[in-house]
Structure 1
Amino acid sequence: MKSLIAALLVSMVAIMGFVKAEYSDKNTESKDKFRYRALSSNNPVKISWETLRDVTFKKKWYPEESVYMLYPTFGPNVNKLNGKEVLLTGYVLPIDAEANLYALSAFPFSACFFCGGAGPESVVGLKFKKTGRKFKTDERHTLRGTLKLNADNIYELNYNIEGAEIADE
């Protein structure tokens, strides 16, 4: 009788272990499917200014303007984000408010790329989905839109967010 009870207990433990392992595998599979859906859907990727520092610059001669300018070589982490929907928080800087031209900066106006000592990787051009809203200098916002890398058009910033809209209001 004792051996029968022991055999039943061993069988139950073995069955419970199998059921737990099967449940665990199914649970992992559903998590992986969820993770895949999250990465493959249009959920924006929250990026930081540190992420945008994955770039190096070399001086390059631009004959159309007769000037040397910094030419970017984007690193692999930034290249993966090109064309992706992102969220980025920073300070809004009016470039030409009447023309709806703004930039997002890692730093306030007094320390930004244009006025302070920051590098070109610390500003992002904003191309808004809807025009008409006027921003004050140094308003801090999180913006959502499609990140576009720019190495060749010297009349635009190296980073741009197209279809930008405020995500924190």
Structure 2
Amino acid sequence: MRKSILLFLFIIFSCSLAKAQEKLTWEDFADVSFEPVYNKKYDVHFLMPKFGEKIQSHQGKQVSIIGYFLDISGSGEIFLVSQNPMASCFFCGAAGPETIIEVDFTEKPPFKTDQIVTVTGVLELNANNVDHCNYILKKASGQLVN
């Protein structure tokens, strides 16, 4: 009887852990539109995001996404996960800002640019700060996809 109770508790605990993070797709991050807004600091109009309800429901939650690892600083200071490899990423003009996520890793990652990784972290939606991406994963960790 005791073994049955322990097994039941283990299954319940495992199920709650599995639901603790949500696996999102790049389609989920496409739930955004953009409107031009004037920025006094830079004296230019920026396309600012208006997040849809679906992606807003993940704000502040732990999520994971599979994508291409990018070290855009080249020196291990600024990391992104992208829907596309470096040659066709947002910064090269081949995609929109909804296809990249800024990643704030808890530890410096060992990955190389264009390796496919799964990144897990707390999702922050950034609608105002043009010095950062629209999507940010905080307290993040990652692993290579085999």
2:105 matches 1:125: no
Q: Structure 2 length normalisation: TM-score?
A: 0.83
Larger displacement relative to structure 2 (85-94 or 95-104): 95-104
Q: Identify, as 1 or 2, the structure richer in strand.
A: 2
Alpha-carbon contact 2:80-2:102 (below 8 Å) kept: yes
Equivalent residue, structure 2, for 1:164? 140
**Structure 2, unaligned stretches of length 5 or more?**
1-10
2:119 matches 1:143: yes
2:25 matches 1:48: yes
Name the larger-Rg structure: 1
Alpha-carbon contact 1:82-1:147 (below 8 Å) kept: yes
Q: CA deviation at 1:111?
A: 1.0
Give matches, 1:25-64, under 5 Å: 43-64=20-41
Alpha-carbon contact 1:45-1:85 (below 8 Å) kept: yes
Structure 1: distance between partners of 2:94 and 2:36? 17
| Residue identity matched to 1:79 | Q
Aligned residue pair count: 134
Per the alignment, in what secondary structure is the counterpart of residue 98 of structure 1?
Answer: coil
Q: CA deviation at 1:110?
A: 1.1
Equivalent residue, structure 1, for 2:88? 111
Identity of aligned residues (%): 33
Structure 2: distance between partners of 1:73 and 1:39? 32
**Structure 1, unaligned stretches of length 5 or more?**
1-33
Q: Structure 1 length normalisation: TM-score?
A: 0.72
Structure 1: distance between partners of 2:15 and 2:57? 16
Residues 77-111 of structure 1: CA distance to partner in whole angstroms, max 9, x if unpaired? Answer: 00000000001000011122435211110001111
Structure 2: distance between partners of 1:44 and 1:64? 37
Per the alignment, in what secondary structure is the counterpart of residue 75 of structure 2?
Answer: helix
Alpha-carbon contact 1:97-1:134 (below 8 Å) kept: no
Q: Identify, as 1 or 2, the structure richer in helix.
A: 1
Q: Does the C-alpha gap of structure 1 residues 68 and 39 become closer, same or farther in structure 2, counting only changes over 3 Å? A: farther
Structure 1: distance between partners of 2:99 and 2:106? 22
Divergent runs of 4+, >4 A = 37-42
